[in-house]
Amino acid sequence: MVAYGEPQIVMFGTGNKKGYTLVQLIETSNITAHFVEETNDLYLDVFSCKPFETRDVMSVLQDSFNPANSQTTFLVRQAPVLKLK
């Protein structure tokens, strides 16, 4: 995955939803994350039109954050091919 530009990182929200949100454009789509300050939770979405290995994402998460617990959901989205007239 190749970054396109600099990541945008913004602190916002209130109460138990306050935290940093990150958006990184990549050549094949985007990566977004929200870090909830109060609970130390991380919600990560890696969206790419190019196939990638989920184990690579989990390895980076483990190396970078060493989470006590994690839950993964992997979705394969198949967009229909549209014929333009």
Segments making up each domain of the chain, as ranges: 8-65
pTM (whole model) above 0.75: yes
> Per residue in 24-55, pLDDT tens?
999 999 999 999 999 999 999 999 988 899 99
| Phi–psi pair at 59, nearest 5 degrees | -65, -45
Q: How far is CA 20 from CA 2, 12, 32, 59, in A?
A: 22, 6, 11, 22
DSSP 68: S
Give the strand pairing for 41-48 and 19-26.
Answer: unpaired
Assigned token pair, 45: 């979405």
> Per residue in 61-79, pLDDT tens?
999 999 999 999 998 877 7
Give Cα 6 to chain centroid, integer Å: 15
